Chain A
Amino acid sequence: QQPVQSPQAVILREGEDAVINCSSSKALYSVHWYRQKHGEAPIFLMILLKGGEQKGHDKISASFNEKKQQSSLYLTASQLSYSGTYFCGTENRRGGADGLTFGKGTHLIIQP
């Protein structure tokens, strides 16, 4: 079942923070986060595994609440380069043959 992302779109000024949420109605093994710029390949940001995790690099971090089957992506002090569409992709079990199930994406626009 497709995870639900919110919000659908966000417009920020450079330097502001954003939170993107991803929730599933099914138990999750992992949550992946990707960013895609128009016409380009989705770029892997990070993966969070069952057991509950928080990860981050630079000013982008994420958390995974296993009990709630939710993950959140945090973008702090946003930069113009953060603009794009953010997708979460979920796996219900390790090594699932059916790959990732993606949310509909969150469009993030950063204005100078």
Chain B
Amino acid sequence: EAGVTQFPSHSVIEKGQTVTLRCDPISGHDNLYWYRRVMGKEIKFLLHFVKESKQDESGMPNNRFLAERTGGTYSTLKVQPAELEDSGVYFCASSRLDRDDGYTFGSGTRLTVV
């Protein structure tokens, strides 16, 4: 079974530019989550999809962040325009609806805004 795939693995962009991160969850996992870890801090929730519907986006920092999940399959997270404080590792995780097997995380996208 393929795991959760994220790309790019690393991205370095200048302040003010746009970046789009992509996540391909495990096939059949209806739950998809985006998390972010800023250096030295905890992994923080950004938002949650069930299939193509946003269930909770209370963790999104501001309106510069936009997430979509087309057709309930892969998801994208766009940051526009990027700011220095957006730097960190962005993780995607997916799970079955019952979540009894926990979440499967991707390896993350390390975003550096300079």
Contacts and interface: CB of A to CB of B under 8 A. Distances in A.
Contacts of B58: 98
B102 A41 contact: no
A110 B95 CA distance: 30
Interface in B42-60: 42-45, 48, 55-56, 58-59
Nearest to B6: A41
* Count class of interface residues, chain B: 20 to 34
A44 B107 contact: no
Nearest to A46: B102
9 contacts: A32-B102, A34-B105, A39-B107, A42-B105, A44-B102, A44-B103, A44-B105, A89-B43, A97-B48
Given A87-B42, A89-B103, A99-B56, 17 more contacts: A34-B105, A39-B107, A40-B107, A41-B107, A44-B101, A44-B105, A87-B43, A89-B43, A97-B48, A98-B48, A98-B58, A99-B33, A99-B35, A99-B48, A101-B45, A102-B44, A104-B41
